[in-house]
């Protein structure tokens, strides 16, 4: 699936997209897509990706499970890096 096809599917409410910040910046600015975690799990990096979903915030059940898993992984990563002074 191409990036634009995946974005179209997310905008239509059929899923979520893990995409480069540059690719979704205009759609985030217009409010068509939103970040499910806000800025809570943003890492400063030239290789940043953003997980986005329709502005309604509603993700299909399988996508919701992926979001929940990804959020748990990110929280675990943050705990581990904070513990070692990262």
Q: Where does the chain show beta strands of DSSP type E?
A: 17-20, 33-34, 49-54
Q: Return the H-helix or E-strand segment holding 8.
A: helix 3-11
pLDDT at residue 1, as a whole number: 59
Which residue is associated with the tokens 């600015």? Answer: 29
- The pLDDT averaged over each successive group of 10 residues in the chain (86 residues) is 80 84 84 82 65 79 87 82 65
pTM for this model (two decimals): 0.48
| 26 and 41 Cβ atoms separated by less than 8 Å | no
pLDDT at residue 30, as a whole number: 92
């Amino acid at each position: 699936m191409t990036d634009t096809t995946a974005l179209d599917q997310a905008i239509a409410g059929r899923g979520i997209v893990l995409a480069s910040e540059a690719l979704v910046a205009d759609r985030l600015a217009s409010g068509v897509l939103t970040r499910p975690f806000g800025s809570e799990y943003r890492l400063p990096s030239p290789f940043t990706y953003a997980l986005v979903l329709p502005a309604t915030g509603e993700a299909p059940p399988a996508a919701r499970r992926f979001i929940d898993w990804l959020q748990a992984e990110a929280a675990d990563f943050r705990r581990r890096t904070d513990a070692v002074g990262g």
